[in-house]
Amino acid sequence: MFDSLLIANRGEIACRIIRTARRMGLATIAVHSDADRDALHVRMADRAIAIGGAAASDSYLRLDRIMAAARASGAGAIHPGYGFLSERPELARACEENGIAFVGPNARAIAAMGAKIEAKRLAEEAGVPCIPGYSGEDQSTGNLARAAREIGLPVMVKASAGGGGKGMRAVHDEAGLEAAIDAARTEAERAFGDGRLLIEKLVRNPRHVEVQLIGDKHGTLLHLFERDCSVQRNHQKLIEEAPAPGLLPETRERLFEAALRLGRAIGYDSAGTVEFVMDAVTQEVHFLEMNTRLQVEHTVTEEITGLDLVELQLRAAAGEKLALTQDEVTCNGHAIQARLTAEDASAGFRPDTGKVLLWSPPAELRCDAGIEPGAEIGAAYDSMIAKLIAHGPDRDAARRKLLSGLDRLEVAGLATTRLFLRDALASPDFAQGNVTTDFIARNWPDGWRAPEADGLALAAAALASRPRAAATPWQALSGFRLLAQAGCPARVTYVDAAAPESRVVLEARGPGCWQTIGTDGETQEIAAQWTGPDRVRITRDGVAESFAAAHHDGRMWLCGPGTEIACAVLPLGDLGQDRAAGDGASPERIAAPMPGLVVEIRVAAGDTVAKGDTLVVMESMKLLMELKAAADGTVAEIAASERDTVEAGRLLVRLEPAER
C-alpha cells in the first residue's frame, strides 16, 4: 500500500475520499484552483497545492499541473474522483509513466468505454443488449437526420463523449430534428472537445438502472447489486436508490450478467458502473454506457452492502486482491440519496450562486458535503453542493427518513433544491416506486413551484433581520427608514424574492410584539423571540414555530419544515405603492439570470425577433441556457459580446417592442 494520496478533484467527493484515506492511515494531498483556496477539502487535507485559475480548464482539467503537483508532493497515488480527469486515459498513463498508482481502472479499459460509439460496438460484441441506432463515421447533420428518420422518431441524439446529460436531445418530431442535432454537437464540443454524435431509438417508459462493479488486478470482478437513478432533470440525476424497486428476479440476473460480461471483456479492474435503460412495463434492458470511475451515487451501494467503495478502489490500485467473493456480497435493507444542488427548481432548475449563510444537516442522515457556513458557491463548477443519504430496513422506511431529514436540513444564502426533493419523495408516484425518467414532467407538467410563503413566514424572516441586542423594536429597525411623525410605529414592507406578489407589512407595536398586514389586508398579532444565534421563535394565536434565519446583503433568509424563502426589504409605503426590488427587468431587457459566460449572441442590432426566439446562449455551472425573447420586437441594442463573463442582472440585449 502506498503511503500518500493526491486527490485530483474538489468539493464533496474530495472530502469523502480524504475521510477514507485518513482512516486507512494515508497522508492526503489536495489540489485547488484560485477559487477554492479556502475550500473545505483544502483545509481537510494534510497538504494543499495551488494548480491554477478558477476555470476548470485552467486548473482541475490541467493534466500537466496535476502531475507536477503529484511529483512535487511525492504522492504515492492519485484518486481522480468523478468528473474532470477521472475518465481520461491520459491520466492513467501519466501515473504509470511516473511510478504513481492510479486509483481507477487501467488506461485500456478507460479508453474502451470513453466514447459511446466505441463502447456500444464493444458491448454488442460482448453480447450485451443495445438500443437500435446509428453510430457511423458520417457525422454530417444531413446524414444524422436521415439516420434518425430511418430508425423512426422519437429518437435520442447523444454525444459520443462525456456524460451528465450534456450533448443529449430527445427529438419527437421532424420539425426540430436538425436543430437538435446542431445544438447537441455544439454542446458536446464545448463540454468534451468531441462533437461526434450517435442516434438511438428513444425507449418509451424508460427507467435508468445501473450495476456497480468492483474488480482487482488479479482477474476478480464482482457486482455489488443495482441502483435506480430515474429521477432526473435535463438528463442529470437527482435521486438515486438501491436496490432498484420492483425488478423481477430474472431482470436482476440479466442486468448482473450483462454488466459482468462487459467488464470482463475489457479487463476491468477497479470500481465502475454499467448503465442501462429499461422499459418500465416490459423490463427489457438496453446498454447505455459504462462509467469507468466512482459514481456520485456510490453511497447507496455502500449503505446496503456495508462496503467502502473508496477503500476497495485504493486496495485494488495498490495491487491487493479483493478480500470477498460474490457470495459474500450481501444486500441489507434499502438506501436513497438526494442530490442537493444550488439551483432554483421553480425556475427550471436554474443554477444559483452566493454565500452559504446557514448549513446544518440532520444527524440522522449520512451527508457527503464539501461546504460549510461561509462557503462561496460560484459559477465555475457543477451546482451540486451535497448528498443526503438515508438507509432503512425497507424502501418506505428509507424514504420517510430522508423526507424527514430534508425537513430538518437548514441551508440558506442561495437557492437550493431542498423543497423540490422533499416534494418528489412525498409524491405518490415515488412512494409507490412508479418512477420513470419523465417523472418530473409527468408530476409537474408546468414546472415545479415552491410553496407560497404565508405572512407568518415572511414576518419571521423580517424579524430575524433585527439585531437581538436592541432595547426597543424601534431601535431594532437599524438600517431601515422610520416614519417621521411623532408616535407613529415603525413600518417596513417585505417581499418574497421568489414571488413578488407575496408580501407583508410589519408594524412594531411594543417590545417583542408586532402586527403583520398581509397582501390581502388581513392582520394578525405575533410575538418573536431569539432562541439561538441563527434561530427565531414566532408565536401566533398561542402556536409557536421555530425557524432558522440569516440576514445578508439586503435579504433575510428563512428555513423551516416546508418553508424556504428569501425576503427583500422594500421602500416604506402602503401596500398599493410598494414595488418589488429588482433591476428594472422587463420584456424589453434580456439580462443575465446569473453570473456566467456569454457563449453566443444570435441576433444583431436592427434584427426583428418574435416571442420565443433565442437571442443569447449563456453557460453557467457547466449548463447552457438559452435566453429567449419575451415579446415580439426589434433589437435596439447589443450590450455584451461573445466570450464576455457577466454578472447576474447584466443587460445583454435591449428590444424595442413591436407596435400594437
Residues 15-73 pLDDT 10s: 999 999 999 999 999 999 999 999 999 999 999 999 999 999 999 999 999 999 999 99
Cβ–Cβ under 8 Å, residues 401 and 393: no
Name the packing angle between helices 418-426 and 395-408 (round to 10°).
150
DSSP assigned state of 267:
T
- pLDDT of res. 619: 78
* Sheet of strand 366-369, all strands in order from the earlier edge strand to the far edge: 285-291, 271-279, 206-215, 221-233, 236-242, 334-341, 384-392, 366-369
pLDDT value at 559 more than 90: no
Assign 625 a pLDDT band (cuts: 50, 70, 90): confident
Q: Which of 180-194, 402-416, 445-459, 507-521 has the highest mean pLDDT?
A: 402-416
In terms of DSSP bridges, do strands 535-540 and 523-532 run parallel, antiparallel, or are they unpaired? antiparallel
Mean pLDDT of 615-626: 76
- Rounded to the nearest integer, the mean pLDDT of the chain is 86
Categorize the per-residue pLDDT at 490 as very low, low, confident or very high, splitting at 50, 70 and 90.
low
What local confidence, expressed as pLDDT, does residue 404 receive? 96
Q: How many CB atoms lie within 10 A of CB 417?
A: 26
Question: Where does 384-464 have alpha helices with state H?
Answer: 395-408, 418-426, 428-431, 439-443, 455-464
Task: Give me the mean pLDDT over the 351-378 stretch.
Answer: 93
Angstrom CA distances, 173 to 154, 159, 170, 604, stand at 7, 20, 10, 30
- Greatest mean pLDDT range, 173-182, 208-217, 377-386: 208-217
pLDDT band per the 50, 70, 90 thresholds, residue 150: very high
Of all residues in the chain, what percent carry a pLDDT higher than 90? Answer: 63
φ and ψ of 305, to 5 deg = -100, -20
Query: In terms of DSSP H, where are the helices of 9-101?
Result: 11-23, 40-44, 63-73, 89-97
Say if residue 547's pLDDT is above 90: no
The pLDDT tens digits of the residues spanning 72-108 come to 999 999 999 999 999 999 999 999 999 999 999 999 9
Which strand (E) or helix (H) includes residue 170? Answer: strand 168-171
The confidence score (pLDDT) of residue 339 equals: 98
Neighbours of 575 (CB within 10 A): 15
What is the DSSP secondary structure assignment for residue 281, as one 8-state letter? T
Question: What backbone phi and psi angles, to 5 degrees, belong to 43?
Answer: -80, -25
User: Quick check: 587 pLDDT over 80?
Assistant: no
* Side-chain-facing half-sphere of 570: CA atoms under 13 Å: 25
pLDDT (mean) for 315-343: 97
Task: Give the residue numbers marked as catalytic.
Answer: 289
- Over residues 590-600, mean pLDDT: 83
Q: Cell numbers 419571521 correspond to what residue? A: 460
Q: Is the pLDDT of residue 310 over 50?
A: yes
What's the confidence (pLDDT) of residue 503? Answer: 63
pLDDT at 328: 97
pTM value? 0.80
Q: At what angle do helices 89-97 and 63-73 cross, to 10 degrees?
A: 30
**Cis-peptide into 243, omega within 30 deg:** yes
Task: Say which residue, 337 or 631, is predicted with more confidence.
Answer: 337
What number is the average pLDDT over the span 101-119? 94
CA dist 403 and 293 (Å) reads 29
Q: What is the dihedral sign for C-alpha 292, 298, 304, 309?
A: positive
pLDDT of residue 575: 30
> Mind listing the pLDDT tens digit for each residue in 375-420?
999 888 989 999 999 999 999 999 999 999 999 999 998 889 999 9
Which of residues 174 and 454 earns the better pLDDT score?
Answer: 174
- pLDDT for residue 539: 81
The helix/strand/coil state of 250 is helix
**pLDDT, tens digit (0-9, with 9 covering 90-100), for 258-297:** 999 999 999 999 999 999 999 999 999 999 999 999 999 9
Check whether 488 has a pLDDT greater than 70.
no
Average pLDDT over residues 523-533: 76
The top-scoring range by mean pLDDT among 176-190, 240-254, 503-517, 595-609 is 240-254
* CB-based contact 201:258 (threshold 8 Å): no
**Distance, C-alpha 533 to centroid of its chain:** 29
pLDDT attached to residue 501: 59
Report whether 575 contacts 493 (CB < 8 A).
yes
Give me the pLDDT at residue 537, please.
81
**Mean pLDDT along residues 608-626:** 81
Q: How remote is the C-alpha of 610 from its chain's centroid?
A: 32
Comparing C-alpha atoms, which of 91, 96, 112 is closest to residue 267? Answer: 112
Average pLDDT over residues 465-476: 41
Are 239 and 338 within 8 A, CB to CB?
yes
Q: How confident is the model at residue 458 (pLDDT cuts 50, 70, 90)?
A: low
Which residues are CB-neighbours of 551 under 8 A, at least 6 positions away? 464, 465, 557
Residue pair 390/398 in contact (Cβ under 8 Å)? The answer is yes
Of all residues in the chain, what percent carry a pLDDT higher than 70? Answer: 84
Strand partners, 515: 507, 525
Helix (H), strand (E) at residue 157: strand 155-159
Confidence of residue 157 (pLDDT cuts 50, 70, 90): very high
